[in-house]
């Protein structure tokens, strides 16, 4: 079973992940309003790129925007969750050993104690995100059951990996479950809100270009308003 989930199923999961994200990328660009957006951007590329990069940079910077500063506790929670969510699987020793064995590539690895702590951080942060969605009316009203499902899909690889690493119960069972959960998450990314993995950058770039060109970035530059 382990050979199956780390072999053919892994290739299928990565294939769906890559093709699905490419589809979302193309579909997003094709969905832009060409009359109002793309024509202006194509004529003012420098202002557009500056606005896009500025928008992305400040939203990736903790407390870099007014929204991040308005909710400092939530900001810390979000950044801890996302940093650990992305960095842990990439720099995990076990993952890099598997990559080296199967595909002949490897990345630098973080100390196992640190990645173990980061795994716990993801699970704890996810718990607080769930509690926040339940406790705050303004968030609860916007929350759908699928939001909890997506969060569960996201956390499952970390929980099963944690149990496998600490050999809680049967190691063989948990390691197979861990790989399967990781593959389910990869497949889910293009089809759920997890697609913000890519769409965040596209939407922030679009908004940044919009504000950088049409909403103040080019005032007094001879552009008709």
pLDDT in tens, 79-92: 999 999 999 999 99
- Answer yes or no: do 193 and 168 share one domain: yes
Domain contains 32: yes
pTM: 0.85
What is the spatial distance between Cα 182 and Cα 168, in angstroms, rounded to a whole number?
Answer: 19
Domain boundary among 136, 154, 186: 136
Domain count for the chain:
2
The per-residue pLDDT for range 60-119, each reduced to its tens digit, is 988 888 888 888 989 999 999 999 999 999 999 888 888 787 778 878 889 999 999 999
Q: Domain check: are 155 and 49 in the same one?
A: yes
Same domain, 130 and 153: no
**Could you say which of 104, 136, 168 is where a domain stops?**
136
Residue 37 inside a domain? The answer is: yes
**Among candidate residues 136, 165, 182, the one where a domain is terminated:** 136
| Span 130-160, pLDDT tens digits | 999 999 888 888 888 899 999 999 999 999 9
The 3-state secondary structure of 19-39, one letter per residue? HHHHHHHHHHHHCCCHHHHHH
83 and 185 assigned to the same domain? no
Distance CA 71, CA 10 (A): 39
109 lies in some domain:
yes
For residue 104, the enclosing domain spans 72-136
Q: Which of 39-48, 129-138, 177-186 has the lowest mean pLDDT?
A: 39-48
How much is the pLDDT for 30?
Answer: 79
């Amino acid at each position: 079973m382990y050979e199956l989930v780390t072999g053919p199923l892994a290739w299928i999961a990565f294939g769906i992940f890559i093709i699905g994200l490419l589809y979302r990328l193309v579909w997003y660009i094709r969905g832009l309003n060409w009359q109002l957006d793309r024509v202006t951007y194509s004529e003012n590329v420098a202002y557009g790129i500056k606005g896009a990069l500025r928008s992305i940079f400040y939203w990736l910077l903790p407390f870099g925007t007014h929204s991040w500063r308005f909710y400092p506790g939530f900001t810390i929670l979000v950044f801890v969750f996302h940093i650990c969510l992305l960095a842990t699987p990439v720099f995990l020793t076990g993952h890099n050993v598997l990559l080296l064995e199967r595909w002949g590539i490897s990345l630098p690895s973080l100390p196992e104690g640190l990645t173990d702590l980061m795994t716990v951080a993801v699970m704890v942060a996810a718990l607080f995100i769930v509690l926040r969605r339940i406790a705050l009316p303004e968030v609860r009203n916007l929350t759908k059951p699928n939001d909890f499902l997506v969060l569960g899909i996201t956390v499952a690889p970390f929980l099963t990996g944690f149990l496998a690493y600490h050999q809680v119960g049967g190691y063989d069972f948990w390691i197979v479950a861990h790989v399967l959960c990781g593959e389910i998450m990869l497949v889910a990314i293009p089809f759920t809100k997890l697609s913000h993995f890519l769409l965040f950058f596209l939407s922030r770039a679009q908004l940044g270009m919009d504000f950088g060109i049409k909403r103040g970035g080019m005032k007094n530059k001879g552009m008709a308003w």
